[in-house]
Amino acid sequence: MSYALQVELSPQKIAQIRAQIEKKNSIFKDKKYLDFLFLPSKIIGRQKQAEQLIQFIESLKQGLLVPVISVYGRSGSGKSTIVKFVLKNFDDILSFSFVNLRKAKTVFGSANLILSELGLPNLKSAQGMNKAIDQIEQRIEEILKKENKKFFVLALDEYDVIFSDPRGQPSDFVYKLLTLEENLREKGIWLCIITISNNALADYTLDDRVKSRMGNSEIFFEPYKEDDVFNILQERAEKAFVNTVEKDVLQYCSRLSSDDHGDARRAIDLLRVAAEFSDSQKITKTDVEKALDFIQKDRVSTIISNASYHQRALIGSICSQSLLTGNSWISTSSIHEKYTKILSKDKKPLSYRRIVDLLVELKNLGLVESRTISKGRGGYGTEYKLKFSPEMLGKLIDENWWKGQVEDKKSKEARAMFDETFGSLFDPKPKRPSSRNSNLLKKYGLDLQEKS
């Protein structure tokens, strides 16, 4: 057995690595403009959505409270950026807190994230949700009193996270927030909640008492068009790079990102990684292609590792059926049936409706695509297809599980081949040929029926 020699890490080696990275980074003038979390000084496009949001907020000054504004659309469509940008430009009349709930795994965890953003310590779950809501209310009062304002906006990004914790009673949590709004209004304080997610509020399971209080204030962000993505990249590239990036390279990045649901974040990331793959002087289409391949593998791995148990089970059910049946498109009912079979015994299956919601989320994440098919008198149905190979996704979910699926397929194929070749020899009651087949056998002198 031979062993590879390990490279010693010394001060000289560190200096060498630093020099190499500095050479690669010499292409950049200011890399922060290629960080999709960076809030630019101006926004390209999305004027329609900005106007809708401004109209809702301005109504506060006329005494009309919009309790909940639902901002929704595909990932990378500019939702979070626009909400932050608009709110920052209202700092003369209101205070706001922008909370990303992605890190929360439970409804109570979401409440703690809100407390953290408001500058308060986290609570233990034993202290209860009511105490968390009371502290949120008190803190909002303190902030507005200190800043001499009466309007507050609580923006909840990745709002759909709370619905992955059904035991935490997400509907009750929203109800408590709406009650909090009413309590503050009695004190002359106006609170508006903005929810930011991939789906409209109407798509989530909420009690009727909650829906009736929320109203119907929605802002939809459609995917960016190729021209929009190009303009965003061009504006950022001018500030991010030392040399001008060729127009055809930016157009190539825009086209690739537009084909992938018009995601501006991915377009910005693609350009940055392409620059890191370049020769430190000029970005080419080849660099973009290398970056795309790298990002796809890295992104899928990140999505799978951060997915919930039930999301991974759904992906696994599609991978398994694609492998075993050889069909790319799998119906929702087939996915649900397989999903219930591969769950651990200690896990309770989610409802069919919730499974449909999760499949839509997987579509928004870019792992699957869907199509609507006609079932004749049975109406219409939805089928899903993986956007990556079953082998790639299956191994990311659980390599040992996927190995078992492959072996199961080989076993079934071997059995089918055996039955096709030798099955009739072991069939104790061979079926009689149909009259048509019988005539054909006789014609060619192959009558296998017993003669009387």
Residue 57 in contact with residue 94, Cβ under 8 Å? Answer: yes
Q: Is residue 86 scored above 90 in pLDDT?
A: yes
Q: b/e for 270-287, b at 16 or more Cβ within 10 A? A: bbbbbbbbbebeebbeeb
Query: What is the mean pLDDT of the segment spanning 93-97?
Result: 93
- Helices and strands of the chain, counted as H and E runs: 17, 8
E-state strands within 111-270:
151-157, 190-197, 217-221
**DSSP one-letter code for 221:** E
pTM of the model: 0.64
Instruction: Report the distance separating Cα 306 and Cα 253, nearest Å.
Output: 26
Q: Is residue 67 scored above 70 in pLDDT?
A: yes
Tens of pLDDT, residue by residue over 226-279, are 888 899 899 889 888 888 889 999 999 898 877 656 678 888 889 998 998 887
Tens of pLDDT, residue by residue over 24-39, are 777 888 888 888 677 7
Query: What is the mean pLDDT of the segment spanning 431-435?
Result: 52
- Tell me which range, 2-6, 21-25, 265-269, is most confidently predicted by mean pLDDT: 265-269
User: What pLDDT is recorded for position 444?
Assistant: 39
Q: Is residue 187 scored above 70 in pLDDT?
A: yes
Give SS3 for 438.
helix
User: What pLDDT is recorded for position 441?
Assistant: 38
User: What pLDDT is recorded for position 122?
Assistant: 92
Tens of pLDDT, residue by residue over 411-426, are 887 777 767 666 655 5
- Higher-scoring residue by pLDDT: 144, 452: 144
Handedness of CA 379, 380, 381, 383 (dihedral sign): positive
User: What pLDDT is recorded for position 446?
Assistant: 41
- Higher-scoring residue by pLDDT: 406, 442: 406
- Res. 75 pLDDT band, cuts 50 70 90: confident
Query: What is the mean pLDDT of the segment spanning 392-396?
Result: 88
**DSSP one-letter code for 253:** H
- Res. 381 pLDDT band, cuts 50 70 90: confident
Of 27-36, 107-116, 122-131, 306-315, give the lowest mean pLDDT range: 27-36
Closest CA to 261 of 369, 393, 160: 369
Please report how the helices 129-147 and 107-117 are oriented relative to each other, as an axis angle in degrees rounded to 10: 20
User: What pLDDT is recorded for position 414?
Assistant: 77
Instruction: Report the distance separating Cα 73 and Cα 222, nearest Å.
Output: 6
Sorted by where each starts, the structural domains of the chain and their CATH numbers stand as 27-39+225-304 (1.10.8.60), 65-221 (3.40.50.300), 307-401 (1.10.10.10)
